[in-house]
Amino acid sequence: MFGCSFSHHHVAEESCFHVLHMAHVLWIENLHIHGVMFVLCQVILLLHNRPSRVKGSHFYH
**Positive/negative CA dihedral, 5, 11, 14, 20:** negative
Write down the pLDDT at residue 49. 80
Q: What is the pLDDT of residues 30-39, one digit of tens each?
A: 666 667 778 8
pTM of the model: 0.33
Whole-number pLDDT of residue 39: 85
DSSP 51: P
Domain limits of the chain? 11-49
Q: What is the pLDDT of residues 4-60, one digit of tens each?
A: 455 555 667 777 777 777 766 766 566 666 677 788 888 888 888 876 665 555 555
Distance (Å, whole) CA 26 – CA 40: 16
Sign of the CA dihedral with 5 first, then 13, 45, and 47 last = negative
The alpha helices in the chain, defined as continuous H runs, are 5-25, 31-49
